């Protein structure tokens, strides 16, 4: 690809701030790339909305990023949006290289010794046909225990409105995590116990310390950010569209939200160590 395309940003979007966990991994894997991140917080959480709505929002956001920022690739940093809309996006925007996010069932099945894997996901992901196909493909001798976590992504989203997590917010998130991990079954390394936990929503990464304390240190917790970042790097290399290695990424990240700007600014400071000046409000029409 010519140099102007190489210097174009990578678009990343999620229903809210959860995809910032993917952006963290992308920055580490691709330090010379520019990024524009869009949090559709004004319409979050996607996981508790219907697939037609998620498809329409995802397509509107992808077109907005293409039109306003001339992105060279798109990372759908949302499990629900990937499950509901990635095929629609690829059909509507066939020239745009794209990477989606899916629960890490394949590596979890490979790593589990008890062959019992827990999966925490939004209801939209857990009930999607795409997730059902993924689970069937990688089950084999492994049993996946799937729990839809209504309210958890929203609670994590709300907690970012505080400069530091308040005790009430932390307790609400911990209580939801306790409810949903308990519903999955027994965790441990003995026969019949769940020894591996998949985080099937990018928001849940920000609750990982709470989840680890609940399931125990012997349980492996798997997120997808690093794998998505590696796949994005491979895709850019195949297309010869990598950013110029001589250009530092410092100052090359823009964050946008359709919801609360102070919430995004707080999340940017807390999770990415970025100043409020990198954040802006946007309006994305359907």
State how far the alpha carbon of 96 is from the alpha carbons of 35, 130, 277, 283, in Å. 15, 21, 29, 22
Peptide bond connecting 89 to the previous residue in cis, omega within 30 degrees of 0: no
Q: What gap in Å lies between CA 59 and CA 242, rounded to an integer? A: 25
Q: Which one from 78, 149, 177, 279 is the annotated catalytic residue?
A: 78
Residue in 232, 238, 235, 241 with CA at minimum distance from that of residue 2: 241
Catalytic residue, candidates 149, 177, 201, 279:
201
Of the candidates 147, 78, 138, 129, the one whose C-alpha atom is nearest the C-alpha of residue 108 is: 138
Beta-bridge partner residues of 220:
196
Identify which of 65, 62, 68, 63 has the alpha carbon closest to the alpha carbon of residue 82.
62
66 is catalytic: no
Closest C-alpha among 86, 138, 76 to residue 107: 138
Residue 69 phi, psi dihedral angles, 5° rounding: -125, -5
d(C-alpha 197, C-alpha 237), whole Å? 31
Report the catalytic residues: 78, 201
């Amino acid at each position: 690809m010519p140099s102007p395309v190489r210097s174009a940003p990578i678009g990343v979007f999620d229903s809210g701030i959860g995809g910032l966990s993917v952006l963290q991994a992308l920055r580490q894997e691709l330090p010379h790339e520019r990024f524009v991140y869009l949090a559709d917080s004004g319409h979050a959480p996607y996981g508790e909305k219907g697939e037609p709505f998620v498809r329409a929002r995802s397509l509107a956001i992808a077109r907005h990023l293409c039109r306003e920022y001339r992105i060279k690739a798109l990372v759908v940093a949302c499990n629900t949006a990937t499950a509901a809309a990635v095929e629609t996006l690829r059909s509507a925007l066939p020239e745009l290289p794209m990477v989606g996010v899916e629960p890490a069932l394949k590596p979890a099945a490979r790593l589990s010794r008890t062959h019992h894997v827990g999966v925490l996901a939004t209801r939209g992901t857990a009930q999607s046909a795409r997730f059902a196909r993924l689970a069937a493909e990688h089950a084999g001798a492994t049993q996946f225990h799937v729990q839809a976590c209504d309210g958890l992504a929203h609670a994590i989203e709300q907690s970012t409105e505080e400069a530091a997590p308040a005790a009430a917010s932390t307790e609400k998130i911990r209580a939801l995590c306790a409810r949903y991990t308990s519903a999955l079954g027994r965790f441990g390394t003995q026969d019949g116990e769940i020894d591996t936990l998949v985080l099937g929503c990018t928001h849940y990464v920000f609750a990982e310390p709470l989840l680890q304390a609940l399931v125990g240190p012997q349980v492996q917790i798997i997120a997808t950010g690093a794998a998505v970042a590696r796949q994005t790097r491979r895709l850019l290399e195949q297309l010869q569209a990598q950013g110029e290695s001589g250009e530092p990424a410092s100052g090359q990240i823009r964050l946008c939200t359709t919801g609360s700007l102070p919430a995004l600014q707080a999340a940017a400071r807390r999770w990415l160590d970025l100043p409020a000046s990198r954040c802006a409000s946007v309006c994305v029409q359907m």
